[in-house]
Amino acid sequence: MRARYWRFIADHRVPFDNNQAERDIRMPKLKQKISGCFRAISGMEAFCTIRSYLATLRKQNRSLIDALALSFAGFVVSPLTAAE
């Protein structure tokens, strides 16, 4: 039982904590703190969509730079689904 609690020391693929949700919302909260608010709902939605897209690609170990370059060229890289 104790070995499971300390697994992150020996296996560096295991995160120190199990708080991925908090890490995922950290950037929007930081942006809100710095600028005070989003000026429009559409701006907030665009920011959250882009952050979510990049976070998903990062979790799948996909190249963010390549995905962004293709997106700006008009070819959006689709994140892998759970079945892939």
Range of the domain at 56: 2-72
Q: Is residue 83 included in any domain, yes or no?
A: no
pLDDT beneath 50: ranges in the chain: none
Give percent of the chain above pLDDT 90: 5
Domain count, the chain: 1
Separation between Cα atoms, residue 1 and residue 61, nearest integer Å: 30
Q: Is residue 78 included in any domain, yes or no?
A: no
Per-residue model confidence (pLDDT) at position 65: 92
Per-residue model confidence (pLDDT) at position 69: 92
Separation between Cα atoms, residue 78 and residue 56, nearest integer Å: 10
CA nearest neighbour of 47 among 63, 25, 65: 25
pTM: 0.60
pLDDT in tens, 20-36: 777 777 777 777 777 77
Q: Is residue 68 included in any domain, yes or no?
A: yes
